[in-house]
Amino acid sequence: MASNYAGLLADKLELSGDRQQARQIRERLARAPVGLATAQDGARGISLDNLPVDGESRLHTVDVSQPTADAVPLVLPSAIEMRVREFLESVRHHDALSQAGASLANRLLVHGPPGTGKTQLARWLAAQLAVPLLTVRCDTLVSSLLGQTSRNLRRVFEYAEQRPCVLFLDEFDALGSARGNERDVGELQRVVIALLQNIDAMPDSTVLLASTNHDQLLDPAVWRRFSFRIPMPMPDAVMRELLWSQFLGSYAPKDLRMATLVGRSESVSGAVIEQVSLDAKRSAVLAGLPHVDEDELFRRLGLAMALMESVPLSTREAEINWLRRWDQKIFSLRTLAKLYKISLRHVTNITQEGSADGNKEDGKPLIEPE
């Protein structure tokens, strides 16, 4: 009955010309079912039965996870870590800061190259705050129907306001791209406007985290909506050493040439370091070894570098020639023979003949003394 009377009131307000009040009442009514369900089931946290869905596909537009502090390590440069912890403390003491007139909206925009830890940061913040992480699914949020994407956005934001959580907008440039591009269509501009309006309507206490690999594509108005903006750089030498130690853990080889490993992984992201470490550990486990083989670790890193540089390695011979060119000191002929379980003469022939595409290494045969 209350809902019906509120709807009638909204109609009368609109007829009398007070459209803003009518809109606010209708928006509150739209939230009521979710709010009631949450009140009845508050002790259990977020219910998967009430997640917002796309009106066209009926698929959920957010994924819910509950990261734990012990499962989400965070490695950042010291200055960046200080800024992240400043944001965390601002969220934790938002009420006290608000009473003092010194609060900022709990909105953080992180930007940087892929693999620098933006998603990991979102999981870490949710774990530190002991709240669910709501990750927006752009594949279902963005609809082919006119106006549906904007409605999906509104439902997601309204849902996030119902309980403490971290709302995470990954690949943010897909929603907040700059307007004014001559190739834009009206629908894309409406999505940006809807995004801005929803951010503005959020309570300052709701935690919003957005990340993008392409900060130059964001609309200037989007930047102004975020009180905290943090760049996520590629790891420096100190960070790379910490990452290698963290991901290798107890499987780190004894007498590991860490300085060489750190130096050869320059310009490599934390995600690549993690993947190389996991691959090397998996090889050790399958071989029944207590530690990662150092030569295998460098081999995995070298192949990852080839992938980053778009070097096609479709044959064993191509891999051997690439590794040899990448670092002759690390990959001696004997080392390559051991790694690929072939004879030293076979490796010598491969390196003399050149790579699979017919290019010899520096035009000279590579022969090492027996």
Tens digits of per-residue pLDDT, 152-203? 888 899 899 888 999 999 888 777 665 555 444 566 677 888 888 999 988 8
Q: Which residues of 286-296 are buried (b: 16+ CB within 10 A; e: fewer)?
A: eeeeebbbbbb
pTM to 2 decimal places:
0.74
| Model confidence at 145: pLDDT above 80 | no
| Model confidence at 369: pLDDT above 80 | no
Residue with tokens 């002790």: 43
- Amino acid letter for position 140: T
| Model confidence at 370: pLDDT above 50 | no
Per-residue model confidence (pLDDT) at position 364: 43
> Once rounded to an integer, what is the mean pLDDT over residues 12-23?
79
Q: How far apart are CA 196 and CA 208, in angstroms?
A: 13
Q: Check residues 125 and 46 and name the one with the higher pLDDT.
A: 125
Compute the mean pLDDT over every residue in the chain, rounded to the nearest whole number: 83
> Once rounded to an integer, what is the mean pLDDT over residues 239-265?
94
Q: How far apart are CA 190 and CA 86, in angstroms?
A: 34
* % residues pLDDT > 70 (the chain): 84
User: Which helix (H) or strand (E) element contains residue 339?
Assistant: helix 333-340
Beta bridge partners, 108, equal 209, 228
The full DSSP string for 4-33 is HHHHHHHHHHHHTT-HHHHHHHHHHHHHHH
